[in-house]
Amino acid sequence: MDRSLDRLSGLAAFVRTADLGSFVAAGRVLRLSPSAVGKAVTRLEEQLGVRLLQRSTRSLRLTEEGRLFHDRCRRVLDDLDDAQAMLAEAVETPRGRLRVSAPVVSYHLFLPVLPEFTRLYPEVEIDLDFNDRIVDLIDEGVDVALRSGDLPDSRLMARALRPFQMLLCASPDYLERHGSPACPRDLDGHRAILFRFPNSGKLHDWPLTLPEGEPEPRRHIVLTCNNMEALRGATLAGLGIGCMPDFLAREPVAKGELVTLLDRYLDAPGQFRLIWPSNRQLSPKVRVFVDFICERLFAARCEALPGPGTGAASQSRAVETAQT
């Protein structure tokens, strides 16, 4: 027998024996005789030059060296099991219920692409929850979430989507009544509609690039709200100037219902990430959903972003959106 395979069988015999407390119990799991399990453990001890188990007529117990070795061996065997399971799942058809959490504003992104996904993967049932609360994916059993901002939880994996832009917008009616600003200082006295982040309670600052030494414009705040849809609605109604993602403004701008303002003074890259628990096994339904959404969202307008933590500094300045 190849020495590496012999050592692997010895590792399995040792771990099962340590877990179950006897050669007999380990043999039942491994489908070997108790003597075969005992011999495999003995060979492993001889190869390592250290005793792993103290044997008596009534019991087995780990030595100190055996305890340390057992912890590492357990992880090795778990990784091997996961590799085998992942290989088996790779050829399976994605199926089952897929729980997805996303901010309310993102339905403008998901709904146009979901019909194609359901055609490609008819056995996946999507349970899509639109809310602006930051869910705990692990505690609440969520498979995938769409978020912006930082990723502080080390238990999560992430893939960056292509960037979007934040835009200042106003209705033609509002601009007719109050004038159209040509530079940031012209915003003094204009009526402002501001977004309040639902989790932190902070107001979203307009991402203006001001000339050095120029003070922030003195806006007249007429409305704050914690929902981007409401902000867009108030802007469309002519209440004031609002700042919103480009994908939210695209349709009313195309129809002439909104006008973008001060585009060259805005420094406003935004970025969403798809995140999921860093389980040992990535299920086929999660894998195909993440790949599909990363390929489709914003695909028509933007170049691909590198993964989290790479790329130019301008790409890493993720602007908070309704999820933050």
* CATH classification code of 96-163+271-316: 3.40.190.10
Task: Give the model's pLDDT for residue 284.
Answer: 87
Class of 164-269 in CATH: alpha beta
Q: At what angle do helices 3-20 and 23-30 cross, to 10 degrees?
A: 120
State the Cα angle at 40 between 38 and 42, rounded to 5°.
Answer: 70
Q: Of 13-17, 137-141, 167-171, 231-235, which gets the smallest average pLDDT?
A: 137-141
CB 247 within 8 A of CB 108: yes
Token pair of 182, please? Answer: 């040509």
CB 195 within 8 A of CB 225: yes
Domains 96-163+271-316 and 164-269 equal at CATH topology level: yes
Token pair of 31, please? Answer: 């489908």
First to last CA, the chain: 57
What values do phi and psi take at 218, rounded to 5?
A: -90, 90
Token pair of 174, please? Answer: 């509002």
pLDDT tens readout for residues 13-37: 999 898 888 999 889 888 899 999 9
Which residue type is seen at 65? Answer: E
The predicted model scores a pTM of 0.60
pLDDT tens readout for residues 62-96: 999 989 898 888 888 888 877 777 766 656 788 89
pLDDT tens readout for residues 246-279: 999 999 999 999 999 999 999 878 888 999 987 6
Domain ranges within the chain, ordered by starting residue: 3-90, 96-163+271-316, 164-269
Tell me the C-alpha distance between 299 and 296, whole Å: 5
Task: Give the model's pLDDT for residue 88.
Answer: 67
What single DSSP character describes residue 266?
Answer: B
Q: Of 2-16, 28-42, 115-129, 282-296, which gets the smallest average pLDDT?
A: 2-16
CB 137 within 8 A of CB 313: no
Q: What percent of the chain has pLDDT over 70?
A: 85
Q: Where are the alpha helices (DSSP H) in 21-61?
A: 23-30, 34-48
Distances (CA, A) of 310 to 229, 230, 242: 32, 34, 31
Class of 3-90 in CATH: mainly alpha
Which residue type is seen at 4? Answer: S
Q: Is the pLDDT of residue 305 over 70?
A: no
Q: Is the pLDDT of residue 217 over 70?
A: yes
Spatial CA neighbour of 249 closest among 164, 187, 323: 164
Task: Give the model's pLDDT for residue 151.
Answer: 62
